[in-house]
Amino acid sequence: MAEPRAMTSTTHPSQTVQNPFQRFLIATEIDTRLLGMIGALAIIWVGFNFFSGGLFLTPRNLWNLSVQTASVAVMVTGMVLVIVTRNIDLSVGSILGVVGMVMGVMQTQILPVQFGLGLGHPMIWILSLATGLAVGVGIGGLQGAIIAYLRVPAFIVTLGGYLVWRGAAWWVTAGRTVAPMDSTFQLMGGGPNGSIGALWSWVIAVVACVAIVLGLYFGRRQRQRYNFPLRPVWAEVSLAVIGCGATIAAVWVANAYPWPVRIAENFAEANGIAVPEGGLFISHGIAIPVLIAVGVGVVMTFLATRTRFGRYVYAMGGNPEAAELAGINTRWVTVKIFMLMGALCAIAAAISTARLNAATNALGTLDELYVIAAAVIGGTSLAGGVGTIAGALLGAVVMQSLQSGMVLMGIDSPLQSIVVGIVLVFAVWLDTLYRRNKH
């Protein structure tokens, strides 16, 4: 009789797992793959900080890293849905380029000259952004319709789009660089004026912490309502502490990066502010493109996990035939996914164009590589059906950290491409191992 009792005692996870760390992961339900990426990111940051002589983990570099990640982070949220449905989009960099060029021409030629709005008119940046969004959605809808209704593989359609839209970007201005952008439009690119400052950054931090706590509270109530298993109270508190701690740390870093000395002095002179002996410290705070990327991430997470559209997307990725038999209009859902991808490319184009204060023919070059790599590194399976927005955003940070660190160390561009390629193949191999072990 001893043997049956021994078997019974091993049926509950809390009894089988003796490691406190494993018990913590089970209780908090933290995704181990996400935790692994956070560990990998920490190793990358510490490694680059060591080899760069302490230059990587500085407020200045981390602030610039967040701004540089913004455009890729925006696009990768859409790429997750594309890959989840077993498709691919190789044209995102070219769409970014052509939309950025269209928005640039709207601001410098069409609206001020042909419509006579005049430079600096408050409607210029709004109309330019709206036009860019319309073009992006139109391009995405066209490609999605060809994929869904003409049954042309997404790889071929978007590969053709990669070439077509890159050529179209050159054709819009015959290869000329378009500059400068509208002053209000430039705020979407970051910089001293494109940041919200220390006070509003802390306001955002407080709002984010309240949202985290309320999200955990209402999530727990929903579980009680449907009789789902509840996390221990200590696990809920731990998640709240971790989320709020990470938010506060990020804001603290953003506020620790001051304006350049000359810009701060000019600001003080223009506003009649006395400059202290040690210099005037004006904090950048959170950059506007980072806020845009975070906002897009929140909206896309809600779309993917809390709406019928999101459920349809994952159902199609898990089993396309079963989804169609269940009554899902898979063709129209596919078109909507690519329209959404086009809109996100337009937002990313606005960020990139505003940051450069110019629309160039090189805009978005190789971005498709970084977006796809970020999605895959973030846990999105190329086999379809699996992927999270949070993981993809973290993957974007990993990719940009690799690139930023290599630039900081003076590594040549060809070697950077080699490293990124190796990382991408390694990530797909890990995903293959993960799925194999899971099954």
The backbone torsions φ and ψ at residue 117, rounded to the nearest 5 degrees and listed phi first, read -75, -25
8 Å CB contact between 315 and 322: yes
pLDDT in tens, 290-345: 999 999 999 999 999 999 999 999 999 999 999 999 999 999 999 999 999 999 99
The tens-digit pLDDT sequence of the chain (439 residues) is: 444 444 443 444 444 545 788 888 888 888 888 888 898 899 999 999 999 999 999 999 999 999 999 999 999 999 999 999 999 999 999 999 999 999 999 999 999 988 888 778 889 999 999 999 999 999 999 999 999 999 999 999 999 999 999 999 999 888 899 989 999 999 999 888 899 999 999 999 999 999 999 999 999 999 999 888 899 999 999 999 999 999 999 999 999 999 988 888 888 888 888 888 778 899 999 999 999 999 999 999 999 999 999 999 999 999 999 999 999 999 999 999 999 999 999 999 999 999 999 999 999 998 998 999 999 989 898 888 889 999 999 999 999 999 999 998 888 888 888 888 888 888 778 777 776 776 6
Cβ-Cβ contacts under 8 Å for 134 (sequence gap 6 or more): none
DSSP state of 63: H
Across the strands, what pairs with 178? 359
Distance from CA of residue 357 to its chain's centroid? 21
Assess whether the previous peptide bond of 180 is cis (omega < 30° from 0): yes
The C-alpha atoms of residue 364 and residue 348 are separated, in whole angstroms, by 9
HSE of 421, CA atoms in CB hemisphere, 13 A: 7
Q: How far apart, in whole angstroms, are the C-alpha atoms of residue 232 and residue 238?
A: 10
On whether the CB atoms of residues 317 and 385 are closer than 8 A, the answer is yes
How far is the first Cα of the chain from the last one, in angstroms, to the nearest whole number? 33
- Taking the C-alpha atoms of residue 2 and residue 73, their distance in angstroms, rounded to an integer, is 56
For the record, the structure tokens of 333 come out as 């859902």
Locate 218 and state its tokens: 């209402």
Coil, helix or strand for 258? strand
Q: Which two tokens stand for residue 334?
A: 């596919």
Residues with Cβ within 8 Å of 351's Cβ and at least 6 positions away in sequence, in order, are 70, 71, 74, 188, 189, 289, 292, 293
For 164-184, letters b (16+ CB in 10 Å) and e give bbbebbeebbeeeebeebbeb
Q: Considering only CA atoms, which of 102, 270, 118, 106 is closest in space to residue 192?
A: 270
